[in-house]
Chain A
Amino acid sequence: MGNETPLWEVFIRPRNGLAHKHVGSLHAADEALALSAARDVYTRREEGNSIWVVRSAAIAASDPARAGENFDPAEDKIYRHPTFYEIPDDVGHM
């Protein structure tokens, strides 16, 4: 990393009741400066009421090259969805 200012990922909660969502990234020397920069860069128009910042280097990510083997198996498991099961209309809403 040398003398470069570290990279941080920024997450914003738009309002209470919603989860924090990734909005972008920025460079800052430490977490206090990262929070302060995130406020200026990503919340100039009331985009949120809470900010998380996390060092980009601290994020472990799944390998896009293995997205197929990771996520395709869910495709044919239709029995995990409610519509797979037949319930007579007479039973009413379930």
Chain B
Amino acid sequence: MYSQGLIGADGSTEETDRFLEAFQARIDAEEKIEPMDPMPEGYRRTLIRQIGQHAHSEVVGMLPEGNWITRAPSLKRKLALLAKVQDEGGHGLYLYSAAETLGITREQMTDELHSGKAKYSSIFNYPTLSWADMGAVGWLVDGAAIMNQIALCRCSYGPYARAMVRVCAEESFHQRQGYEIMLTLCRGTEAQKKMAQDSLNRLWWPSLMMFGPHDGDSAHSEQSMKWKIKRFSNDALREKFIAATVPQAEFLGLTVPDPDLKWDDGLNGGKGGYAHGDIDWDEFWRVVKGDGVMNRERIAMRKAAWDNGAWVREAALAHAAKRCDTLAAE
């Protein structure tokens, strides 16, 4: 299950001040908003976009790992990977359903993904080149996603929050199986440890990018925080992820590919934290806008799956219609 900071949301509304104030008062009182409740258009649109992006990320996220199912090194690893990819399909479905409660159809969302109008997490536009990537993806990518999603369990929109509770409960095994793969490789031969290090080198920075732009550059973060769609800022979650993950890398005996990374006692008001190097935001935006290594292939595969399944959907509908007619005639 994957998510990242919202890209290009529209927070504008046309409602009266009184309506907006009443809505904000409900949010401030920690009341959940449910599908048929009155809500500002901006709230609705922001959620449709965010939940849609999140659902697309799950579904596209099946591809880099699906790629390795037939080449998993043991039956145990193959079973785990199959279960993980199936979970991601399920998570996509929970999320599409949650978005549909806001008035967008599944067909519209599918079209937006295929046309490139809707975005998904940039991490899935990186290739998975070795078996170690299955370890690093579970450990880092799912780890980063969990950071985001735990916060979203308390989102003000009921159906999204409920979907997140389910997802978080299922997600923990994804990260643990990934870390176990890394641990096995790191306790293996020199070549295996090197493979694990190479994977960390490639996936570390893209994982940090999953939290989205810096708070100052994240145009609609402030409104989303006010509406309690988001509970923590992109940077706060990213720092939390780094603090949790660096010791895990040290345990593996791997080096985080950031020469500027070091513990600083003075950070976070004396509580300490990791100082780290700058993220390459040009790369982030390039990948988000469609120019990552795998963007075209990922969308081509989704389209092919959709198009090749068309006859199944049509046949199922035709069969259902025919049975209805038969029942009506009896």
A residues whose Cβ falls under 8 Å from a Cβ of B: 3-5, 7, 24-30, 33, 40-41, 44-45, 61, 63-65
Contact = CB atoms under 8 A, between A and B. Distances in A.
Which 3 residue pairs of A and B lie closest in terms of their CB atoms, listed nearest first?
A29-B316, A30-B320, A29-B320
Interface in B73-116: 83, 86-87, 90, 93-94, 97, 100, 105-107
Given A4-B107, A24-B97, A29-B313, A64 B163 contact: no
Contact of A26 (B34, B36, B97, B320): B97
Interface string B161-173: 0110010001000
A29 B317 contact: yes
Contact of B90 (A25, A40, A63): A40
Residue among A24, A28, A40, A44 with the most chain B CB within 10 A? A24
A86 to B, nearest CB: 34
B319 interface: yes
A80 to B, nearest CB: 25
Contact of A41 (B36, B38, B93, B320): B93
Contact of B316 (A26, A30, A63): A30
Given A27-B106, A40-B90, A44-B90, A5 B313 contact: yes
B32 to A, nearest CB: 12
A65 B38 CA distance: 8
Interface string B126-146: 000000000000000000000
Interface of B: 34, 36-38, 83, 86-87, 90, 93-94, 97, 100, 105-107, 162-163, 166, 170, 313, 316-317, 319-320, 323
A7 B100 CA distance: 10
A79 B188 CA distance: 71
Nearest to B318: A29
Contacts of B105: 4
A29 B309 CA distance: 14
Contacts of A64: 34, 36-38
A40 to B, nearest CB: 7
B48 to A, nearest CB: 16
Given A41-B90, A44-B87, 12 more contacts: A4-B105, A5-B106, A5-B317, A24-B162, A24-B163, A25-B97, A30-B316, A40-B86, A44-B83, A44-B90, A45-B170, A64-B38
B88 to A, nearest CB: 12
